[in-house]
Amino acid sequence: MELFAFHFSDVGNTLEQKFLGTSAFGTIDPKNLEAMMSSKVKDFNFGLRRHIFFPLLGDGIFTQDGQAWKHSRELLRPQFTRQQYQGLDIFRSHVDNFLLHIPHDGEYIDLQPLFFRLTLDTTTEFLFGKSVNSLKEIDGSKGNNFADEFDIAQNYVVQRFRLLDLYWLIGGPKFRRSCASAHRYIDEIIETRNEHKQVDLESSGRYVFFDAIAQDSKDMKSLRAQLINVLLAGRDTTACLLSWVFYRLARHPNVLARLNAEIASTVGYNSNLTREDLKKMPYLANVLKEILRIYPPVPVNTRTASQTTVLPTGGGPDGTSPVLIRKGENVAFCVYAMHRREDLYGPDAEDFRPERWDEDMPLLRDEKTAAWGYLPFNGGPRVCLGQDFALTEASYTVVRILQMYPKVKPYKCHENRSWIGWSTHQTKGIEKVAKERQKMTLVLSSGDGCKVIFGR
C-alpha cells in the first residue's frame, strides 16, 4: 500500500494513467470521493467487480448495483439497529473464550488469527443465533475449515481484482472448490437453522438476523449470498481493526498507559460492561479512529463510470480543474493514501497519535473535507451498515483484554528465530507506521500477524 501513497505524494492527489490506450484514474481528493459516492453516485457502478467477486459472494449487497442493491440495502438496514446488540451479551461469552487462549507464562501469542476466530464466532452468533464457536473447537472443526476455505477463495478474488479485464485468467479448480466449500458450509447452517428455528424462537425469544431476512429471500442462493456478504464484512474488517490496535499499543507505551488509565478510572475491573460504559471512554474512541485512519480495512477501491461524467477537481496544469471521466473508464480511490495526507492530518500524519482527534487538524476546518477526508467505512448511500456493530465489538474487546492484561509488549524475532526481545525501534515513544509488512486481501492485515507478550 505504501506504493500507492508514494505515487500520489509524487504526482498529486488525482492522476491519470493510460493502459493499452485506455485511461484510468486515481484520486485521494475528498471532493472527488464525495462526487463518486454521493452527489454523482448514479454516474458510477462496480463495473467488473461484480463478475470478479461473484463466484464467492454471489448476488449480494457487495456485488449489486441499481434496484437490486437498493432492495438489499432496505432489507439489511433494519437488522443493524443498536437494540439488536444493545446489551453486549452477543460479545461477552466469545471474548471470554478468547481470553482463555492468552498464555499466563510470558510466552508470546499471535493475536491476529485469534481475532479472526473471535469475529467469526460473534458474527455467526449475530447472523444465525448460534455461533460456530471456532475459539472452542480444535483445528479441523467445520468452523475453522470454513475459515480456511473462505480465506483461500478471498486470495483468488484479490488476484482476479488486480487483473481487472483479464480476471477470468484466475479461476481454476482450487478456487472453485474453495468457493463451493464455503457455500456448502453456509447452506448447512441455513438448513440446520430452518429445522430448529421454531424451537429456538420459542426457547430464546431473541432477535436473529437470519430469521429477519429469510422471509424476504426467494431461494437458498439469494439467502446464502446475503449472509456470506455480511459474514465477510463482520469477520474480516473487525478482526483487522483489533489486530492493528494491539500491534500499535504494544509499540506505543504512552498510548497504552493513557488508555489503561481511562479504563481504570471508568470501569476498573468490572467485566460486566455496558454500552454506556464504552461511551464514557473518549480516548478509546480516539485510538480506534486513529487505527482506522492509518489502517483502513478496505484501503483501495474502484468505480466505473456508467455514463460520461466529470469529477470536480484534479485536472488542468495546477490540478484544480474538473476531470472528464468517459463512460467505461475506471477511477480508483485510495483511502489509505488520503488518510496520510499531511495537508489534512498535519506534518505527523505518518505517526500513530490518537491525540490528534482532540486537536484542530486541517481536516476538520472544512465541513466537506471533514466528511469525506476520513472514510474508514465508506460514505454516501453505500456507507457501511455495520460500522456501529464493528466499533462496539472492537471497543468491548479492547477493554476486556486490557482489564485482564494491561501490559502489552511486542515480540521481536530475528530471521533465525532464536532470539526474543523487545522492540527498540522507537523515537520518543513513537514508531513510524508503514514500516511493518502488510498483507492485502479484501482487507488490510498485518503480514507478520500481531505477535505480542502480555503481562499483568
Instruction: Give binding residues as ranges.
Output: 384
DSSP label at residue 105: S
Beta strands 330-334 and 22-27 are parallel
| Element spanning 26, H or E | strand 22-27
**DSSP labels for 339-406?**
TT-HHHH-TTTTB--GGGGGS--GGGGSHHHHHHS--TT--GGG--TTHHHHHHHHHHHHHHHHHH--
Is the separation of the CB atoms in 314 and 376 below 8 Å? no
Handedness of CA 336, 54, 234, 70 (dihedral sign): positive
What are the binding residues for heme? 384
Q: For the purposes of burial, counting CB atoms within 10 Å of the CB of 148, is it exposed (0-12), middle (13-18) or buried (19 or more)?
A: middle
Q: From the centroid of its chain, how far is CA 453?
A: 25
Distance of CA 455 to CAs 9, 103, 112, 403, 416, Å?
Answer: 40, 10, 18, 11, 26
Place of cell 483511502: 335
Q: For the purposes of burial, counting CB atoms within 10 Å of the CB of 327, is it exposed (0-12), middle (13-18) or buried (19 or more)?
A: exposed
Helix (H, G, I), strand (E, B) or coil at 10: helix
Cα–Cα distance for residue pair 77/353, rounded to 1 Å: 33
Cα–Cα distance for residue pair 283/285, rounded to 1 Å: 5
Quick one: which of 388, 69, 45 has its CA closest to 229? 69
Phi, psi at 77, each rounded to 5°: -55, -50
Q: Angle at CA 323, nearest 5°, toward 322 and 326?
A: 140
Cα–Cα distance for residue pair 446/456, rounded to 1 Å: 25
DSSP label at residue 432: B
Number of H helices, E strands in the chain: 18, 14
Instruction: Indicate the Cα dihedral angle 216, 149, 116, 97, nearest 10°.
Output: 90
Number of other CB atoms surrounding residue 214 within 10 Å: 16
Grid cell, residue 27, equals 484520486
The size of the chain, in residues, is 456
Beta strands 438-440 and 444-446 are antiparallel
Helix (H, G, I), strand (E, B) or coil at 131: coil
